[in-house]
Chain A
Amino acid sequence: MLRSDVSSDRALARPEGREGRAASPPARAATSPRGTSPHGAAPPPAPTTDELLQLLTPDGVRRAEPTLDPWVADVDDERLLDLYEDMVVARRFDIEAVALQRQGELGLWPPLLGQEAAQIGSARALRPDDFAFTSYRENGVAYCRGASPTDLVRVWRGTALSGWDPRSIGMATPQVMIGAQTLHATGYALGCRIDGVDSAAVAYFGDGATSKGDVHEAMVFAASFRAPVVFFCQNNQWAISEPVGLQTRRPIADRAFGYGIPSLRVDGNDVLAVTAATRIALDRARRGDGPTFVEAVTYRRGPHTTSDDPTRYVDPEVQASWEQRDPLTRVERLLGASGALTEDRAGAIKANAERFAHEMREGCLALPVPAPTSVFDHVLVEPSAALARQRSEYAAYLAMFDDGEPR
């Protein structure tokens, strides 16, 4: 159900259209806040499955869920196989990128292991004319939007500050400043509304970002302007070493209530549930009903980045419990039982993932180092005389050396 706006109807009502209901907090408000230490630093317990909207259990059982079911009625075995393939590809290239970093070919990489369903399920719900504003971990989203294997590693190789031209794939340069992209998505969505089109913007951010002022301001602006934006929060339980309990005392989805933004809290490791929730949110945006908040509860099974050491703060038992809730395994179980995932099909999917990873590696190693004077490019649309002078001076300096490089 939509929190603060209970309805399974496709024509979901506006949050302020039901003042009586909106005035009463969601049922979950009665539950006690997580964690008991004054600082709230204790890792939160994994949420139990029945707290979350779910369509596919970790055992691979398709459950009925009246709010979500109508939104994935078209997702038959074949379409679910497509989503599964995307998740396999994402997991595979993510592993390849980690390997590239370990081999010294990338400076850094932020693994997405464990978050495949949250990223693929949401990104595949978007239309080409929608626009995604993400953080740096959404490489699965970038893949869905059409980023090439090489595009994904450009930034991490250190040859560019953006992997792609944002307008070419409808996805902004991934944001490093935590949460800033939520404002950009809101502004873009506001522009869609002014233009009178039914495109939407999606802001991807994490549980840590919800502490940022920009995320607060984005939700205020989005609610006030009824901007067609989806706030898609992947609650992966960690902001580097800080557990989600340090960011919030209550489920993150509950925050949306205070802004008058309806929210959904879904099993983020369930690709079907994520797809349905994102479609609900996008539908509201396209209908002019304004922003929706989706909390996809998932788990970051790898390090924050390849520079991180989660053994210093992760409880192995908690880690193991999330491995039991793997987003790919449950789809394999379902499609294996139905007979849709044949050995041949699985082999083809694996080969496709291998090909993507191979292209990523080859593309990475072939990336040219930019020319020295490229540091002066694109500061302003029309270069200033002062910077042109600095460029000329540095070029002249470099020219003193035989090979064009200072020794």
Chain B
Amino acid sequence: MTATTMAAALGSGLRRALEDDPRVVLLGEDIGRLGGVFRVTDGLQRDFGADRVMDTPLAESGILGVAVGLAYRGFRPVCEIQFDGFSYPAVDELVTQVSRLHYRTGGAIRMPITVRIPYGGGIGAVEHHSESPEAYFAHTPGLRVVTCGGPQDAHTMLRQAIACDDPVVFLEPKRRYWLKDEVDEELDGALPLDRARVVVEGSDVTLAAYGPLVVTARDAAIAARDEGVSIEVVDLRSLAPLDLDTLERSVRRTHRLVVAHEAQRSGGLGAEIAAGVTERCFDVLQAPVARVTGFDAPYPPAKVEEHFLPDLDRVLDAVDRVVGRPHALAGWSAAS
């Protein structure tokens, strides 16, 4: 196997999905001749034709609404929303239609729609190109929300998402598109789509991360080891539903939990995870669950985004907090 980028792993995942199921069709802006603004769909229209890889008019609600109609007709649409911030015009269709048509029709109509969304910051982009909207989608019953931390999961999970009979919001951490790793295209034996994975084993503290921060969390585990702290990194992978069973098993060993995400803190996934783990593990927790997140501000201009994004040092500082080592918030109220 040769190492491929996450973008290429996603592209090969789409290619395999198109080969495996003639009802799979791709819709999105600039995904055809251009191959997508991140080149994820490079070459697919050439090889599968314009009826299966469709450049659409520039309208996100339209993309999702047309996908609903295609699903009614028995297709398995894969929509690309060009950037996270442009998913908001599609939220209406996602929340009022895609997520609940199966429920509305008592199971008669399935919506096997995959919505690919490049998300997150760190690429020096203009406004609306660095959002982390996962909490909006995770709050919507009927949607599965997943994200990948590396090329292998990118490939495997995307194919699993497309094969899934539920609608899946597939969040792609865009600043990791160029991350390289070896990718095995064998699906048999792959971890199910809705399961978290322990990617680094440890014993002192559980660090839960997903998407772009999986790399950061791995780096934190290496750095902490040098200081004598053993971090167990859990890549959540599925944000809705959350795999709290895997998290609980880990926290019952480590007794401490840090959750990291780029998205704003209030009402975010970190809050749900902290509550869920506390409900299950109150008896063993030795410190309050700590969150390392973006701030409750709109995403800032590129020149200061490094201050918004949780990085290695902020993650390690939170780890210090839960293991009782000196940290930046010493003397502050935990409620702040």
Contacts and interface: CB of A to CB of B under 8 A. Distances in A.
Interface of A: 131, 133, 160-162, 165-168, 172-173, 177, 180, 182-192, 194-195, 201, 213-214, 217-218, 220-221, 224-225, 377-382, 384-387
B67 interface: yes
Contacts of B109: 166-167, 173
A162 B61 contact: no
Contacts of A187: 65-73
A182 B106 CA distance: 22
A214 B142 contact: no
Interface in B116-141: 141
B62 A220 contact: yes
B49 to A, nearest CB: 10
Interface string B53-69: 01011010110111111
Contacts of B72: 131, 166, 172, 184, 187-188, 191
Given A187-B69, A188-B70, A213-B61, A378 B75 contact: no
B241 interface: yes
B106 A160 contact: yes
B57 A224 contact: yes
A382 B69 contact: no
Contacts of A378: 102-103, 105-107
Main secondary structure of the interface of A (DSSP, over half): helix
A185 B71 CA distance: 11
Nearest to B62: A217
A217 B102 CA distance: 24
A284 B264 CA distance: 51
Given A162-B104, A184-B72, A385-B241, A190 B142 contact: no
Interface of B: 25, 51, 54, 56-57, 59, 61-62, 64-75, 92-93, 96-97, 101-110, 141-142, 144, 164-166, 194, 241-242, 244-245
A385 B194 CA distance: 10
15 contacts: A165-B108, A166-B105, A166-B109, A177-B96, A180-B65, A184-B97, A186-B66, A191-B75, A213-B61, A220-B62, A221-B66, A224-B57, A379-B142, A380-B102, A380-B144
A72 to B, nearest CB: 30
A185 B56 CA distance: 16
B70 A190 contact: yes
B68 A184 contact: yes
Contacts of B144: 380
A184 B69 contact: yes
B72 to A, nearest CB: 5
Contacts of A214: 61-62, 65, 92-93
A192 B244 CA distance: 42
Given A380-B144, A386-B244, 17 more contacts: A131-B72, A131-B73, A161-B105, A165-B108, A173-B109, A180-B65, A183-B62, A186-B69, A190-B70, A191-B69, A214-B62, A218-B62, A377-B103, A381-B165, A382-B165, A384-B194, A387-B241
Contacts of A195: 73
B107 A386 contact: no
Which of A167, A220, A379 is the most central at the interface, judged by chain B CB atoms within 10 Å of its CB?
A379
A165 B106 CA distance: 8
B108 to A, nearest CB: 4
Contact of B97 (A177, A182, A218): A177
B108 A167 contact: yes
Contact of B104 (A173, A182, A217, A380): A173
A217 B57 contact: yes
Nearest to A177: B96
A381 B68 contact: no
B73 A191 contact: yes
